[in-house]
Structure 1
Amino acid sequence: MSGDPSEECAVSGDPSEECAVSGDPSAGTPPNPFAVPRLFVETDPLNPLRHEEHLDYYVAVDHTEESFQDFQKRFQDVADLLHEGRLVLVSGEKGCGKTTLINRCAHWLRGRIEADRQDVEVVDLTREAQDSDTIPVRRSNVSRALVDNLHALTLLKSDLVYETRDDADSTYRNLPTCLAAGQWLIVLLPRAELAEELRYYAVRAPKRMVFFAETTPEVGTQHAPGRTIRLQVDAFEHEHATLFATDRLRRLPTGTLPPLAPTALDEFLQDNRKTTIGEIQRLLFGVYETLRVQEDRPDEVTWNHLARHFISVSRRLREQP
């Protein structure tokens, strides 16, 4: 292979932005097998709520499949939600796939509720609070955004909850009576790092409503009311990284890009170091984004290609002002 792969593209702060070239087989440039289709940033979390085809991109690594199956069992019967809501709390380190799992669970739950011929709306409020905000400000912002969304969707049959939308307590107390009897809600909350904030939603979740939130492992293990359903994702061992890579590489047209050497990830993740789905996704996306625009490609991708790319990205991130 000629040249240093790490110098083929100008890397910005996000490794996912290394090259702006899209896959165009007709132009002789093969697609990147680690790019997720129909996302603004190709390494963003899977989101079948918006793109149904993303369901085919889930891989059973670490606790993700186990957690998803546990979630399905908990909501096979949704009758209890007619009396009180739930908080689904997904905990894990950064990059472990919390958002991806939440999107999958929310997509499945939406279908489960619709199977009972009920109307259900998914409201995404994940960007409606800042980490620097106090808990009362965060509650108020989320409450106001929720009601504004429902108002825009014409789902409110009364103005009562709209008039008091800055008061979170009043919002969750009055919301069920301001919605049609057959209207259900799935609400994606902003990431939270304080148990107090999560306990608030667990206690106040109105009937016919399920809150989803993600948090750190430390907060996820703290006490929460019985109506909280806890799910967990975690860093994983080398064989899970290889499993993920194998799934993505099976999508490659034969002979277009070099395969990953069988021991490449094991050698890269030496000393039994665990990794995350986010780390492996960004690493392999970057390596293959470089290879796909090269004319001279190796027969296979080895640990050396992975290491050189990793070092290159790390160096450029350190050089940023």
Structure 2
Amino acid sequence: MTRPINPFPLPGWERTPMRPLRPWERTAHRDYYVDVDGAEAAFQQFQQELGDLAGVLEDGRLVLITGESGCGKTALLNRCADWTTVALARRGLKGVVVDLTGCLPEDEELSIQQRLEQVCDQLFDRLVDARALRPEEVEATRGDRDNPQRVFPRLAHLLRDDVVLLILLPSPNELLDEVVRYAKQLSSPRVLFFAESAFFRADDIAELVRRTEAWVPPVTLLVGKLETGDQHRFAKDRLLRHTDVGTYPQLSDQAVELLGKICQSVAMLQRILHGTYERKLTSGLSYTDTDLVTVDDIRAYLNGLGMQP
């Protein structure tokens, strides 16, 4: 017998509905990407630029994903990392993903050099835990664990022969200067670095390419705002997924229209849809596959947050 469910949380993250897709860790997420806000075109650009991964294996690469807050940068970054691990596996190589996005203190001002040192220090422990380093290099490198000038250029030498490293960097703090440092100093064969920022603009990217022209240029991917029809496409995708495991109402046409007007980012859309369905589910209101989620339901949820649609 099916039970009433909220169709909007991601598999395995029912209690944390706002976490982005992370397919390299949860393979069930691979099928949850929807072609909204230009993310599909950006993903295809990434695939084309990396090609057969020969460039990554020979020189390494930096991937920078830009776009406004909530537009799906992290989900795209994770998708690119997952695709790379799968492509590497086809070549008999092991892609090791090291997520350092939350490794820096939020309440402390650090210089670029201090940030790089902390990233390097944290990276060493993660590589040891993942058994990605040559055994003889673990102790030999321990004394330099917080020295990016020593560690990053030698990463390919430190790694096991079958390992390719994918490092998810913290969001750049001083933007252009920090990313240039990443592009110049962190470059190493068999190492792919990812970073994201909500503050880069076209002029910044052009300047970044100019200042790194002596090195392999970064792959720069742009994710935009939701476009007309994206809200409906996203909601329809999610509402079609779980009909075999539970029951839930559909969205009224007027509710879809309202979402198109008020949701500018995929994060906002996910939050409103999940919250509206959760409120209706737990409030004791009608919640069957013959009911509808209406404009009034969305407004009631937003009013509870102190927001006006």
Paired residue for 1:276? 265
* One-letter identity of the residue aligned with 2:25: R
Contact 2:71–2:225 (CA under 8 A) maintained in structure 1: yes
- The alpha carbon displacement at 1:74 in A equals 1.5
Contact 2:71–2:224 (CA under 8 A) maintained in structure 1: yes
1:18-57 deviations in Å (ceiling 9; x for gaps)? xxxxxxx76x4x1211111212512210111111111111
Paired residue for 2:231? 241
Paired residue for 2:198? 216
- 1:174, 1:267 → 2: CA distance? 54
Matched, 1:263 2:251: no
Paired residue for 1:13? none
Paired residue for 1:47? 22
- The alpha carbon displacement at 1:234 in A equals 1.6
Find runs of 4+ consecutive structure 1 residues off by over 6 angstroms. Answer: none
Matched, 1:181 2:141: no
Contact 1:192–1:213 (CA under 8 A) maintained in structure 2: yes
Paired residue for 2:127? 150
Paired residue for 1:293? 282
- 1:297, 1:117 → 2: CA distance? 53
Q: 1:250 to 1:82 in 2, by over 3 A?
A: closer
Paired residue for 2:300? 308
1:41-96 deviations in Å (ceiling 9; x for gaps)? 12210111111111111100021100111111112221122331111111111111
Q: 2:87 aligns with which of 109, 112, 115?
A: 112
- 1:235, 1:218 → 2: CA distance? 15
1:173-202 deviations in Å (ceiling 9; x for gaps)? 222222233321011111124111111111
Identity %: 32
1:226-256 deviations in Å (ceiling 9; x for gaps)? 5200111121134101110011111243893
Unaligned runs of 5+ in 1: 1-24, 316-321
Please report the TM-score for the alignment, with normalisation by the length of structure 2. 0.86
Contact 1:238–1:265 (CA under 8 A) maintained in structure 2: no
Q: 1:221 to 1:51 in 2, by over 3 A?
A: farther
Q: 1:60 aligns with which of 21, 30, 35?
A: 35
Please report the TM-score for the alignment, with normalisation by the length of structure 1. 0.83
Paired residue for 1:22? none
- 2:57, 2:10 → 1: CA distance? 37
Q: 1:174 to 1:243 in 2, by over 3 A?
A: same
RMSD over equivalenced CA pairs, Å: 2.2
Paired residue for 2:189? 207
Unaligned runs of 5+ in 2: none
Q: 1:219 to 1:151 in 2, by over 3 A?
A: farther
Paired residue for 1:167? 147
Matched, 1:190 2:184: no
Contact 2:98–2:123 (CA under 8 A) maintained in structure 1: yes
Contact 2:104–2:118 (CA under 8 A) maintained in structure 1: yes
Paired residue for 2:46? 71
Q: 1:268 to 1:106 in 2, by over 3 A?
A: closer
- 1:232, 1:268 → 2: CA distance? 23
Contact 1:161–1:174 (CA under 8 A) maintained in structure 2: no
What secondary structure sits across from 1:314 in the alignment?
A: coil
- 1:36, 1:221 → 2: CA distance? 36
- The alpha carbon displacement at 1:162 in A equals 2.4
Which stretch of the first structure deviates more once superposed, 42-51 or 246-255? 246-255
* One-letter identity of the residue aligned with 1:92: G
Matched, 1:137 2:127: no
- The alpha carbon displacement at 1:269 in A equals 4.4
- 1:221, 1:257 → 2: CA distance? 46
